């Protein structure tokens, strides 16, 4: 398995071509989940998982990964605006280390700076209510992260 700090293109060299990618926006209360299509061109938001305990969260992600034929996880890394890593990055890296103990699906990190803010601006522009934004923002942020990663491959 490729360590998470391996570049996306390098990590993809070990992934079978029929496998899809999963994007994750890991928050303290929820996990936004998105998947790519089979051609790895388009990211689609799948669901928002309400965080419980790590084991339950990991089991849900592995269930989705099996159902969706996932070969690689793109995990949003919440880097500070100045490029430094704070407590949220440490928490994300810990999640990846623990998940890697349970699953052989490779994980790569993707700089997610401003992804949630960009999605929120988009939803506000679409006149989505605050309640609707709260329901969909995490899975849309996951799709934003995954789409950026997919776009980098072209």
pLDDT 10s digits, 1-59: 555 678 898 999 989 999 999 999 998 899 999 999 999 999 999 999 999 999 999 99
> Token digits for 100?
């890697």
**Percentage above 70 pLDDT, the chain:** 81
How far, in Å, CA of 149 to CA of 140, rounded? 14
> Token digits for 151?
């776009």
Look up residue 42 and give its DSSP letter.
-
**Alpha helices by DSSP H, 34-129:** 54-67, 87-102, 115-125
Average pLDDT over the chain, rounded to an integer: 87
Which structural domains are found in the chain, ordered by start?
8-152 (3.30.420.140)
């Amino acid at each position: 398995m490729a360590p998470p700090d391996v570049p996306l293109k390098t990590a993809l060299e070990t992934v079978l071509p029929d496998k899809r990618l999963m994007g994750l926006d890991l928050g303290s209360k929820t996990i936004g989940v998105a998947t790519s299509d089979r051609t790895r061109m388009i990211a689609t938001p799948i669901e928002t998982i309400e965080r419980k305990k790590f084991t339950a969260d990991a089991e849900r992600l592995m269930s989705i990964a099996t159902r969706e034929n996932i070969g690689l996880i793109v995990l949003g890394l919440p880097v500070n605006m100045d490029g430094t890593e704070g407590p949220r990055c440490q928490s994300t890296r810990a999640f990846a280390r623990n998940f890697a103990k349970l699953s052989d699906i490779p994980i790569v990190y993707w700089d997610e700076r401003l992804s949630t803010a960009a999605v929120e601006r988009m939803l506000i522009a679409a006149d989505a209510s605050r309640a609707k934004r709260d329901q969909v923002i995490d899975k849309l942020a996951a799709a934003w992260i995954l789409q950026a990663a997919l776009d980098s491959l072209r």
